[in-house]
Chains A and B, each alone.
Chain A
Amino acid sequence: MKRLGTCAVLAALMTTVAATAASAETIRIGATMRMISENGQKYGQMMQDEFDAINAAGGINGAEVELILLNDECKSDKGVANANRFVYQDNVHLVIGSTCSSVSLPIVDVTAQAEVPQIIPHSTNHEITQKGSEWVFRVPISARYYKGVMAKYVGENIGTNIAYVYASDAAAQADTEGLRDEMRQQFGVEPAYWGQTQEKEIDFRSHLLKIKTLDVDAVFIGALQEPMARFLVQSYEVGIPADVKRLANSSASNAPVPKLAGDAIKGVFFSAAYSDSDDRQIAQDFNQLMKERYDVDKVDHDFSQAWDLIRIVEIALNNAELELTDESLAADRAAIRDAIANVSDYQGLASGPISFCAESTPECRDGNRTPVLIEYLSGGEDFEVGILDRVTMPVDFGLE
């Protein structure tokens, strides 16, 4: 019993020492992301490496940045648990997360209640910034911008008789419904076909065979990486001709899609935040860096968005006046929020400038408004894409 008591006292002392050490001149950042794929882990690794590099270069105004990286597996309950741990136990100054919209959506409520700034690396669901939280900022392009630019290009250049199939994830659903609604609004057309697949379903031929009989101009596929590749391959297997254009949501930007789909990716048209065929010097340097560091041949937009997020956070932290004491935690969090809101015309890997502002409206918090229109020229390991256009959308687009 006596030994037990001694152990308890020692444990309490160690906890106190650890807590004291953690609070000294450290900016704590909690990141929750989907890190169940190889690329997902690399996004997390890149964040860790970049913050390590910032620390190695002297930190932020002399303060060290501590990144606490947790996996949420794209599950909302785990994401909420991570966010709660960050804001209440780790006392972070900033939350980064998440990859999946269905995780970011409830986390917005957690950070709003705890009054901690949250910056989103990958989620596109438009509702995230429409909740009205003054603590949330989004680096990726909102689904409301994607749907607008896609609908305009598709309606004017490809046709309006579109079949839609989508997988059961929040982003795919939002992207598909968004394009359908926008086609209705801009061209007054209804879907030629509308179908949803089940989670873990791998045979989509029943949908595709029906679509084959409909003589459509294009098939829109809303899905994450693996199901999208399967959709594309199977669309050729069932005999949908090559002149029926294949359209995809922004997940088509992820490198595994062209590698898995092979030749079936050729001609697929989608919009994303970044293309690795971007000929700007900053993009070429970034591609080179990712190749050297993580052996990534083709850099997708989730890498670029995570990179832009780190740079924006770095700018904001440098501009924020932080005291970094236990007593100043709430004030520091508010200062970081205000500093992110003051980031304007950030020019990074995104195809247009990223700007935020103080009001808690989607106009202010959806900072990136410039989707890139991209077409796959070839698939496989050495896939190639071509940039068709870059379009900066009106700030209030999709809010009517």
Chain B
Amino acid sequence: MDVVLQAPRNGIARLAAIHPVLPWIVAFVVLLPLPYLTTNNYQIYLINHIGVMIILATGLNIVKGYCGQVTVGHVAVYAIGAYTAAVLSVYFAMPFWITLPSAMIVSMLFGVLVGFPSFRLEGAYLALATLGFAQAVEVFIRVTDYLGSASGLGGIKAPVLFGFSFDTYQTYYYLMLPFVLFAIYFAFALLKSSTGRAFMAVREDPVSAAATGVNVRRYKLLAFVISAAYAGMAGALLAHMRPGYIHPNNFTIIEMVVVLLMVVLGGIGNIWGAIIGAILVTIIADLTRDLYHYQLLAFGLVIVGTVLFMPKGIGGLIDRYFVSRSFVAARDKTAERVRTQLDGDGEG
């Protein structure tokens, strides 16, 4: 256990000491051969899907985990990102390199819209308001012919770069990977910045945060906007992945529950937790697809169980392991020092 957890941690710390971006470059290089380690294209398809889910869950973690805002509207912003990219690709023949940033910008604008209720609402009330937004977006897509309505929107082009088309799951992986790593890197950078600390201050106690000079409204809105940018990126990446088809059924409240499960199981407010959650939930959902009748029930029970018995999720457990390990190491070191001193005194 020590080797499995501690060695990478030490390695990352050493690399980060040289340059903060270096661990991410190493991670990129290490992950490059992943498609060649899989046994078939389906596994690469799943990895790509996990990539989308990591971005989506990390985004949700920023607004929910860091800033403490209970939103159920994340899936709607995800849908808006996906449909923005799809519309620009299908109707205006725009390349991925324009549709992706456009999707992020449009999603951020809607992030502002979702964020406004947070000025006056909190907890369950904010969840209800954002739930209404999520439902409204889904219904709007479902009845709008231009968006493919109930038939879905197909024909979304694969990304092309200098004539090279990312039209297979394998090539798409190499397009996806930098975006996923950048999304995680940005989340870590944000957490360590003054903005990240302000988010956490708002989460812990908005009144105290305001008393210490934090502009609570501004930071709440900023959390929603950044989170929406993540959702927009995830949506655009989903839309352009083969077969290039999206449908309102992909953005229902059930999908929101699944993303929420990723964050809760992984650990609210823990970046690695959201990533672990996205990987675990996607794989478990795939392995248990035959048991779909019980899947949502099981997911719901896992959320309740995690909140009750493991409120910091898997990420919290790992953090606790390291903290207790550091504590034990420090205690042993102190004991050793005391023992040495006592031995010295005895000899004297």
A interface residue numbers (CB < 8 A to B) = 1, 36, 70-71, 73-78, 80-82, 84-85, 87-89, 91, 101-102, 105-107, 109-110, 113-114, 125, 127, 168-170, 172-174, 196, 198-199
Contacts and interface: CB of A to CB of B under 8 A. Distances in A.
Nearest to B149: A173
A180 to B, nearest CB: 13
Contacts of A36: 292
A162 B195 CA distance: 60
B22 interface: no
27 contacts: A36-B292, A70-B290, A73-B292, A76-B245, A76-B249, A80-B243, A80-B245, A81-B45, A81-B46, A81-B49, A81-B286, A81-B289, A84-B45, A87-B42, A88-B42, A89-B40, A89-B43, A102-B151, A106-B152, A109-B243, A110-B243, A114-B41, A168-B142, A168-B143, A168-B150, A170-B150, A172-B150
A76 B152 contact: yes
Contacts of A91: 40
Nearest to A125: B151
A113 B243 contact: yes
Task: Name the residue among A74, A84, A101, A106 with the largest chain B CB count within 10 angstroms.
Answer: A84
A107 B243 CA distance: 8
B243 A102 contact: no
Interface in B255-305: 286, 289-290, 292
Nearest to A110: B243
Secondary structure at chain B's binding surface: helix, strand, loop or mixed? Answer: helix
B143 A196 contact: yes
Contacts of A198: 139, 142-143
A1 B139 CA distance: 52
A110 B150 CA distance: 20
Contacts of A125: 151
A101 B39 CA distance: 31
B244 interface: yes
B220 interface: no
A130 to B, nearest CB: 12
Contact of B142 (A74, A76, A84, A199): A199
Contact of B151 (A81, A82, A173, A199): A173
B281 to A, nearest CB: 14
Contacts of A81: 45-46, 49, 286, 289
Contacts of A199: 138-139, 142
B289 A84 contact: no
Contact of B250 (A76, A87, A172): A76
B292 A75 contact: no
A170 B243 contact: no
Nearest to A108: B243
Contacts of B244: 109
Interface in B53-81: none
A102 B249 contact: yes
B40 A88 contact: yes
B247 interface: yes
A36 B249 CA distance: 15
Task: Name the residue among A76, A82, A174 with the largest chain B CB count within 10 angstroms.
Answer: A76
B197 interface: no
A135 B119 CA distance: 54
A-B pairs with the 4 shortest C-beta distances? A109-B243, A106-B245, A88-B41, A89-B42
A199 B137 CA distance: 13
A70 B245 contact: no
Nearest to B143: A196
Interface string B87-110: 000000000000000000000000
Nearest to B241: A80
Contact of A173 (B45, B150, B249): B150
Contacts of A76: 152, 245-247, 249-250
B30 interface: no
B70 to A, nearest CB: 24
A114 B247 CA distance: 22
B3 interface: yes
B242 interface: yes
B23 interface: no
Nearest to A89: B42
Given A106-B152, A168-B143, 11 more contacts: A74-B249, A75-B249, A87-B41, A89-B43, A102-B152, A106-B245, A109-B154, A168-B142, A168-B150, A169-B150, A196-B143
Contacts of B243: 80, 106-107, 109-110, 113
Contacts of B149: 168, 173, 196
B163 to A, nearest CB: 19
Contacts of A77: 247, 249-250
Given A74-B249, A88-B40, A1 B150 contact: no
Contacts of B40: 88-89, 91
Task: Name the residue among A73, A77, A113, A127 with the largest chain B CB count within 10 angstroms.
Answer: A77
Contacts of A87: 41-42
A70 B289 contact: yes
Nearest to A112: B243
Contacts of A88: 40-43, 45
A18 to B, nearest CB: 12
Interface in B32-52: 39-43, 45-46, 49
